[in-house]
Amino acid sequence: MGRLNGKIALVTGAGTGIGRACMVMFAKEGATVFGVSRTQSNLDESLRLTQAAGGQGSVFSADLSQPEQVEAAINQCVATYGRIDILLNAAGVGYNLRETSEGSMDPVHSTPIDKWREVMALNLDSVFYVSRLVIRQMKTQAKGAIVNVASIFGLGGAPDAHTYTATKGAIINLTRSMSVAYVDDNIRCNVVAPGFVATQMVESVIPMLFSAENPKLISPMGRPATPDEVAYACLYLASDEASYCTGSVLTVDGGSTARA
């Protein structure tokens, strides 16, 4: 306990899944958390869980694919807490989007142009919009830690969801570039690349991928990760324990990328 004592942590995608797990875990470890997501009711539940765990923080509803809403969220965080020590970018969409946005998780040849732009805006543009403003704040503080959540599909290809895989690969290389560009500002930038995680984002495909007949099809461990298992990796990279880590990509995938 206390690995983030005194830190102010801004967590995007805080309404569900990995973002929610990070918000609660970071607060339990002593950070004051500022959670941002699109859906207020989800944020309210994340804040309730945070406070029930003994943590402190607040939430702000914003669509992070819209630059003006990003600016409002960052301004509110700085106005409330005076600084941002940690940025955890977990906002984004995945396989569940295909249920409400046909074609969004298709291969290239069947992906409509507007769906390409939609997923790019939600998964990649949002990371850029948030990071550019938070980095400006961190430069004035001469210190900060940024952790971006990508995916193992940013490290290798997938048979579909090509826009999704493109965004995750871009997040990884953007983070590496940021780590070099801002090292002299004492800002560390790292990536966590999960495999399949038991969240709403992939709940529709989990039974197929981890079937009773072939549970190790995707992961040698034979199961998806829990959100907390990914949050622990994010916690490490956000903490001062990772003071010599920048530009790193930490996979949390049950051994999926270890196989040839």
Helices (H), 92-211: 113-120, 126-141, 162-181, 206-209
Q: Which of 95, 129, 164, 182 is catalytic?
A: 164
Name which of 149, 243, 142 is nearest 201 in CA terms.
149
Instruction: Please count the other Cβ atoms lying within 10 Å of the Cβ belonging to residue 200.
Output: 12
164 is catalytic: yes
Q: For residues 111 and 103, is the Cβ–Cβ distance under 8 A? A: yes
Instruction: Please give the C-alpha separations between residue 169 and each of 25, 74, 87, 118, 183, in angstroms, as whole numbers.
Output: 26, 25, 19, 17, 21
Q: Around Cβ 49, how many Cβ atoms within 10 Å? A: 15
Residues that are catalytic: 164
